[in-house]
Structure 1
Amino acid sequence: MIKESELKDGISAIIPTYKGEKYISKLLDSLINQNMDSNLFEAIFIVNGEIDSTPDIIKEYQKNNPEVNIILTESEKGVCNARNKGIELASRKYCIFIDDDDYISDNYFEEVYKHVKPNRIVLGTFYDIDEDSGEVIYSYMTPQLLENSGIVENPYNKIKDAIVITTNKIIPTINVKNSKFNPELTNGVDIAYYANFYPENDFEFYVVNKDIEANYYRLWRHGSISRQDLSYEFNINNRLKVINDINEGLKKAKTPEIKSFIESLTGGQVIKINEYIEKCPQDYTRILKEVLSYNYDFFPYKYLNENLSELNNDKRELIISYAFSPTNTTTSNVVAKRILSEKRNIDVICASLDDLKKDFSLEKVVLEYIINKFTVKSDFSTEWNNISNFINEGIKLINNYERIYSRANFPHSHFLALEYKLKNPDTYWRAEFSDPLIYTFGNRH
């Protein structure tokens, strides 16, 4: 394994290229025109897949610009294999990934390099270039970078989108050499890579001031790999593979901030899954079986097959269960297992029951399905005044449900459900009993 002392000062640009003949000259020109001393950077082009005239174009630039360190090599097919080959060859202390149809401003390397430090990632400003018009436009992550400069506090929230694209960031090479892109992935590779890269490293993030105009320009190409047509392979199989890698990263998370950040990366993948389900609802059961086959530690089931704009719609089913996870009772466990078996988004109302034992392990799994959890403050008792309190306080918290479900060993649940049904006669009420409820635990009628 290479030591940091063996790396030279400067920047290694790692550039996979696949049939890039139409765009590569723009990038090469931007590298040739960098204000930085050409001895301080190298550009590693990795040709992967089918060959066009791209290698010849790069060789011509090598010939005409011998002062610039342009390296041309090749790898097995696939952008991940290409980037991994570039990582192996990188010889400078810092590196950047650049796509072959993108380019950078003349001062980009010079300005970002002013702020490099070990354990720091430096980002420039990011813009899209419309392929048809050539117009410079904001990407979805541009505002994040314009609104922040210098060291960013809470980067996993403030610049979340900017730090999970592969490009536009200078990274300490020694850290990158301890990582790899997953060659089994054909898309979503950036999310999968950084979901595993960040938990293994404790970075601070620095954004170069927008007034410096150290700009990274991404060509917005219609039909690029991240904007493919709807298909089971792209929207389901590939998304589940990416979520699997995200779960691997989640296991490495050392802080609640990183854990929450990595969990949130599943959201974009589920959006693509939902796009497919909306068009092909007949495949929903098949998709759910695929999801379950991975046995994920974390999957945001509550977003699956949901219109995200209506996620807090109160018309989903309400579960009424006086005892509910993490309260450790038979009723809590039975209701939790029912939720896990039905795998549908639900709301829950329960009592706090702080005086009873808790088991947070089951709650961790069940919470993935719960949109809203309403809790009535109450210690455990089967006295009527306690049941009455659960009814009166609970009815204030809930409204507008088309379906309710109540589960009782404890009668509180059915009494609250009855009260709701009387007030909302059109609501469908599903009630489940574990025992006849003629007598209380104290054998009182």
Structure 2
Amino acid sequence: MKGSAEGSTSPADGIAAAPWLDTTRPVDTALIAEWQGHLDQLRAASTPQTSTSPTPASRSVSVVVSYRPGDDLATSLRCLADQTLPADCVEIVVVADGGIDDVEPAIQEWSATGERAPLRVVELPTGRVPVRAATLASVRHPFSAFIAAGDRVSPAYLGTLLAHADEASIVVAHRQADFPSAPTSGEAPEILAGSEPASFGEDSSPLLGTLLPTHLARRVEGDLPGPDRADALLLLSLLTRHGCRLRQLSEADGATYQRAGRARHDVPDDPDPGRVAARIRLIADLDALAATCDATTRPLVRRVQDAEYDRINAHLRHHPDDRARVVALIDRHDIDYLPSERLNAGLARALAVAYCFAPYNDSSAVVMAKRVRERGDVVDVVYNKMDGKREVDPSMRRISGPFVENEIAVETPTYFSAWPAIEAFCTRGLERIDELERVKGPYERLYSRVMWPASHFLAALYKTRRPSVVWTAEFSDPASRDVTGQVRSAPLEPSALLDELRAELKRQDLPVPQSENCLDWCEYLAYALADQLVFTNENQRDYMLGYCPVPEVAAAARAKSVISPHPTLPPAFYSMARSHYILDPSVANIAYFGTFYATRGLDDVLTALARLDSATRDLLRLHVFTSKPQALRERVEELGISGLVRINPYVRFLVFLNLTTKFDCLIVNDALTTEHHERNPYLPSKWSDYRGSGRRVWGLVEEGSPLSARPLDFASPVGDVEAAQDVLRKIAALTETRAKG
């Protein structure tokens, strides 16, 4: 620390003398450590007064002047020299972050007379200690006011702030700006209710122009998370967790804070990874704070978060190649509030069509959300509003949200294959797309995925109207055939939309299907009009194209097809939602997630478990999470293994991911197709989720199925109880190995 006029080291207000108040000592690493270690003692010593109005003796203020090299410190000090408040009620603490080589003239000018308030300069090595923590440890008076070097305050500024101060208030001056206009992008958030908008750039703090009770600021500072401890977080914590109120002053009150017209620092051209990382940490910290807020204060928190999302959006506009890193940073934090329309504002040049999409807790919505993330394209997504038909799970937006700008929820009746519902979805969906295109122009890329057939119909119509768009169409499973190979039938009805599609096929010299089954049309339109086709496995592609009625269309579809199994989410998703499910560590815990059928898959495991010797059975526990528990409960009781099987309801997707990491082994089973298919064309999507869990996976498989080709830890043929017993013995042996290890 370097000192100047009347630098006193005597304690004030009962706070024990601290070494950092010694103005003769330079700041060094050891002192910084001591400084931080004593901050808790200062917070404890600065207990709140019982009265809400300070006594006259306590009406004194420490004015913190934040200085960076090049700032006009002299201007601010002249304003402070002209204050109407007596000098013995004031101390000035200049906190210099990164050097004070050019402040000596201003200090000498201040020291020219002995009638001014004592002034100290705290010089901090850049990045070696949190600036605000250092500031709050340094000040001596019961109230603290904050000014940036170069800014101006009115003569009655300090006296007016103190006149309105008490132990439970944040007093906010009337704020002005020297900027000729107030830019809307990159502005710092105005979190203070009722204050007039000011053009405070990113380099400024919402603390500027405020007066706080020092003891409360110290207490909150010590509670704030992380190294950044943003000023907005401190203010919002005072408002939401500590019961402080705002006292907003008007220009007529006489306390005016005027921001200097310095060059702005908020243009996001700097790809410095620390800046974006700090913003995301602040958003996460504010999210935790919002959870404790009431309906009055939560909007204040959201406004600050919105402003940070706007700044990240500006960064992504300048640095689009940085998206993967930004998304990885978002994934790393526990953030429920993710306004994707702000994060991705103006960035979507692709359109995604998914009849069922997040936030609905449905397997097709999950896979589509994962696919949007995997593709990495910022999209506007069109989906059907399914409230009342599917459970809403807002956490699902964490999967796709970082890649979605606009969610276009179309309010039409929800049906799998009824033509009137498909037609209504297409008509209304195209209207909504037109509304967006009038603002942003045509989309460059189009992606649709079917389990629900309406997705490909809408995509085909958009491709017909916008031939230049590159359309990628994916099939989760065969649309027009069920698991037994039988035709699914859903009749078409006369429609202008169908006439439009027929005309497009004729224009391209492609045969028009003679089928009146809309599910046949769903597949054929994608084969004929899409630029790329995606199948999850080769068996599925060969089977579906094998029954295509037009061989030349099937050949063209094969040529433009790719094989892409369901995506696996990044590791961070397996800890986003914590499950507190209790497991017995003395046994091997096996989990099955899915529907129970007495004739399929899992019954092999139950029967095998029942036939094991008692010593082996006692080493095993089976945990089943299912939507149909009653049939399973009856079967377990029939086999006499109720004590070995825990039956649970389905859980939400992110909780499911976390659960998968807790078990010794996870079971996934093939659909039974041998009686109806030469080769099984189905790949269970659950395999992709298990793959990211880091746990062993047991597959109950059909020979030659897509699942049988996956890197399973254990495998047994579906229907082979003896093979299932062998696997159970191997899993039980893991318990013995673990006990010995």
Q: Is the 8 A contact 1:395 1:420 kept in 2?
A: yes
Instruction: Give the corresponding residue for 1:373.
Output: 407
Instruction: Give the corresponding residue for 1:419.
Output: 461
What SS does structure 2 have at the residue aligned with 1:95?
A: strand
* Partner residue of 1:239 out of 276, 280, 285: 276
Matching of residue 340 in structure 1 with residue 340 in structure 2:
no
In structure 1, distance between residues paired with 2:97 and 2:466: 64
Q: RMSD between aligned alpha carbons? A: 3.9
What SS does structure 2 have at the residue aligned with 1:220?
A: coil
Q: How far apart are residue 202 of structure 1 and its match?
A: 4.3
Q: Is the 8 A contact 2:62 2:141 kept in 1?
A: yes
One-letter amino acid of the counterpart of residue 167, structure 1? L
Instruction: Give the corresponding residue for 1:72.
Output: 120
One-letter amino acid of the counterpart of residue 412, structure 1? A
Q: How far apart are residue 208 of structure 1 and its match?
A: 1.8
Q: How far apart are residue 297 of structure 1 and its match?
A: 3.7
Instruction: Give the corresponding residue for 2:389.
Output: 355
Q: Is the 8 A contact 2:448 2:472 kept in 1?
A: yes
One-letter amino acid of the counterpart of residue 414, structure 1? H
Instruction: Give the corresponding residue for 2:431.
Output: 396
Q: Which has the higher contact order (CA 8 A, sep 6+)?
A: 1
Q: Is the 8 A contact 1:192 1:246 kept in 2?
A: no
What SS does structure 1 have at the residue aligned with 2:260?
A: strand
Instruction: Give the corresponding residue for 2:149.
Output: 100
In structure 1, distance between residues paired with 2:183 and 2:160: 23
Matching of residue 16 in structure 1 with residue 74 in structure 2:
no
Q: Is the 8 A contact 1:47 1:55 kept in 2?
A: no
Change (3 A) 1:372 1:290: closer
Q: Is the 8 A contact 1:125 1:215 kept in 2?
A: yes
Deviations 1:334-358 (A, max 9, x none): 1111122233321122222222233
In structure 2, distance between residues paired with 1:359 and 1:420: 29
Instruction: Give the corresponding residue for 2:133.
Output: 84
In structure 1, distance between residues paired with 2:397 and 2:131: 42
Instruction: Give the corresponding residue for 1:112.
Output: 161
In structure 2, distance between residues paired with 1:29 and 1:343: 54
Deviations 1:143-197 (A, max 9, x none): x9xx9xxx945x7xx7597695331111222221124499966xx9655765766
Q: How far apart are residue 362 of structure 1 and its match?
A: 0.6
In structure 1, distance between residues paired with 2:102 and 2:433: 66
Instruction: Give the corresponding residue for 1:444.
Output: 488
What SS does structure 1 have at the residue aligned with 2:49?
A: helix
In structure 2, distance between residues paired with 1:127 and 1:258: 21
In structure 2, distance between residues paired with 1:182 and 1:60: 40
Q: How far apart are residue 317 of structure 1 and its match?
A: 2.0
Q: TM-score, normalised by structure 2?
A: 0.48
In structure 2, distance between residues paired with 1:297 and 1:189: 18
Number of matched residues?
A: 409
Q: How far apart are residue 140 of structure 1 and its match?
A: 5.6
One-letter amino acid of the counterpart of residue 406, structure 2? N
Q: Is the 8 A contact 2:230 2:282 kept in 1?
A: no
In structure 1, distance between residues paired with 2:466 and 2:69: 63
In structure 2, distance between residues paired with 1:183 and 1:23: 31
What SS does structure 2 have at the residue aligned with 1:98?
A: strand
One-letter amino acid of the counterpart of residue 349, structure 1? V
Q: How far apart are residue 26 of structure 1 and its match?
A: 2.6
Q: How far apart are residue 407 of structure 1 and its match?
A: 1.0
Q: How does 1:154-233 map to 2 (within 5 A)?
A: 164-180=205-221, 190=231, 200-222=241-263, 226=265, 230-233=269-272
Q: Is the 8 A contact 2:280 2:329 kept in 1?
A: no
Change (3 A) 1:266 1:227: closer
One-letter amino acid of the counterpart of residue 283, structure 2? I
Deviations 1:188-231 (A, max 9, x none): 96557657665544443333222345222333334x7x368944
Q: Is the 8 A contact 1:317 1:346 kept in 2?
A: yes
Matching of residue 428 in structure 1 with residue 470 in structure 2:
yes
Deviations 1:202-261 (A, max 9, x none): 443333222345222333334x7x36894433xx43232233233223222234414422
Q: How far apart are residue 266 of structure 1 and its match?
A: 1.6
Change (3 A) 1:10 1:237: same
In structure 2, stretches of 5+ residues that fail to align are 1-43, 490-741
Matching of residue 3 in structure 1 with residue 52 in structure 2:
no
One-letter amino acid of the counterpart of residue 430, structure 2? I
Pick which of 356-365 and 57-66 moved more: 57-66
Q: How far apart are residue 40 of structure 1 and its match?
A: 3.1
In structure 2, distance between residues paired with 1:361 and 1:229: 29
Change (3 A) 1:52 1:371: closer
In structure 1, distance between residues paired with 2:462 and 2:104: 72
In structure 1, distance between residues paired with 2:459 and 2:101: 69
In structure 1, distance between residues paired with 2:402 and 2:267: 29
Change (3 A) 1:241 1:81: closer
In structure 1, distance between residues paired with 2:351 and 2:134: 53
Instruction: Give the corresponding residue for 2:637.
Output: none
Q: Is the 8 A contact 1:75 1:81 kept in 2?
A: no
What SS does structure 2 have at the residue aligned with 1:85?
A: helix
In structure 2, distance between residues paired with 1:269 and 1:416: 35
Instruction: Give the corresponding residue for 1:46.
Output: 95
Instruction: Give the corresponding residue for 1:249.
Output: 286
Instruction: Give the corresponding residue for 1:133.
Output: none
Q: Is the 8 A contact 1:10 1:94 kept in 2?
A: yes
Larger Rg: 2
Matching of residue 260 in structure 1 with residue 302 in structure 2:
yes
In structure 1, stretches of 5+ residues that fail to align are 131-136
What SS does structure 1 have at the residue aligned with 2:447?
A: strand
Instruction: Give the corresponding residue for 1:386.
Output: 421
One-letter amino acid of the counterpart of residue 397, structure 1? R
Change (3 A) 1:362 1:59: same
Change (3 A) 1:184 1:393: closer
Q: How far apart are residue 129 of structure 1 and its match?
A: 4.9
One-letter amino acid of the counterpart of residue 259, structure 2? R
Q: TM-score, normalised by structure 1?
A: 0.76
Change (3 A) 1:362 1:372: same
Pick which of 390-399 and 73-82 moved more: 73-82
Q: How does 1:292-331 map to 2 (within 5 A)?
A: 292-293=328-329, 295-298=332-335, 310=346, 316-331=349-364
Q: Is the 8 A contact 1:102 1:218 kept in 2?
A: yes
What SS does structure 2 have at the residue aligned with 1:377?
A: coil
In structure 1, distance between residues paired with 2:78 and 2:218: 28
In structure 2, distance between residues paired with 1:325 and 1:227: 34
Q: Is the 8 A contact 1:94 1:171 kept in 2?
A: yes
What SS does structure 1 have at the residue aligned with 2:259?
A: strand
In structure 1, distance between residues paired with 2:384 and 2:147: 54
Q: Is the 8 A contact 1:324 1:333 kept in 2?
A: yes
Q: How far apart are residue 97 of structure 1 and its match?
A: 1.3
Pick which of 49-58 and 98-107 moved more: 49-58
Instruction: Give the corresponding residue for 1:25.
Output: 74
In structure 2, distance between residues paired with 1:99 and 1:38: 20
Identical counterparts, % of pairs: 19
One-letter amino acid of the counterpart of residue 248, structure 1? D
